[in-house]
C-alpha cells in the first residue's frame, strides 16, 4: 500500500485552519475517487510543553504510487491540491512511501 503523507506546518491561526480544513477542504478532497484510506491527526510533542515539529499529519492511501499520482492528477485531485495554500499558512510538505505494516 502506498501512502502520500502531508505534513502541515503550524498555521498562523489554528482555529481558522481547523475551521477551513473541516468545512471547506475535507468536502473538496472527499470528491477524489480511488483512495483506499485517509487519516488525519493533530501532532503532539514527545515532551510536555514542547512544540511538535508539525501541526497536522495527513495520510492518503492507494494501491500504488501511480494510483496516488493519478488521483491527484484528476480534476478533483487538482482542486484539492490547489486549495492547500488557502489555509496552510504554515506550509505543507508532501512525501510518498511504500508502507509496510509489520504488526
CATH number at residue 90: 3.30.70.100
How much of the chain, in percent, has pLDDT values that exceed 70? Answer: 100
Whether residue 53 is contained in a domain is answered as no
Handedness of CA 50, 54, 56, 57 (dihedral sign): negative
Residue 69 within any structural domain of the chain:
yes
- Domain carrying residue 25: 2-42+59-98
Give the separation between CA 59 and CA 80, rounded to whole angstroms.
Answer: 14
Low-confidence ranges of the chain (pLDDT < 50): none
Please give the grid coordinates belonging to residue 79: 482542486
54 lies in a domain?
Answer: no
pLDDT given at position 26: 97
30 lies in some domain? yes
Instruction: Please report whether residue 36 resides in a domain.
Output: yes
State residue 101's pLDDT score. 84
Q: Is 68 exposed, middle or buried (0-12, 13-18, 19+ CB in 10 A)?
A: buried
Instruction: Kindly state whether residue 50 falls inside one of the protein's structural domains.
Output: no
Q: How many domains does the chain have?
A: 1
Q: What is the mean pLDDT of the chain?
A: 96
Amino acid at each position: 500500500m502506498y501512502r502520500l503523507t502531508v505534513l502541515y506546518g503550524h498555521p498562523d491561526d489554528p482555529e481558522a485552519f481547523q475551521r477551513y480544513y473541516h468545512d471547506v477542504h475535507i468536502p473538496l478532497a472527499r470528491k477524489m475517487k480511488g483512495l483506499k484510506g485517509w487519516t488525519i491527526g493533530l501532532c503532539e510533542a514527545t515532551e510536555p510543553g514542547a512544540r511538535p515539529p508539525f501541526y497536522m499529519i495527513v495520510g492518503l492511501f492507494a494501491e500504488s504510487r501511480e494510483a496516488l499520482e493519478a488521483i491527484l492528477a484528476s480534476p478533483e485531485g487538482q482542486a484539492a491540491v490547489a486549495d492547500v495554500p488557502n489555509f496552510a499558512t504554515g506550509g505543507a510538505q508532501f512525501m510518498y512511501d511504500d508502507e509496510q505494516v509489520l504488526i
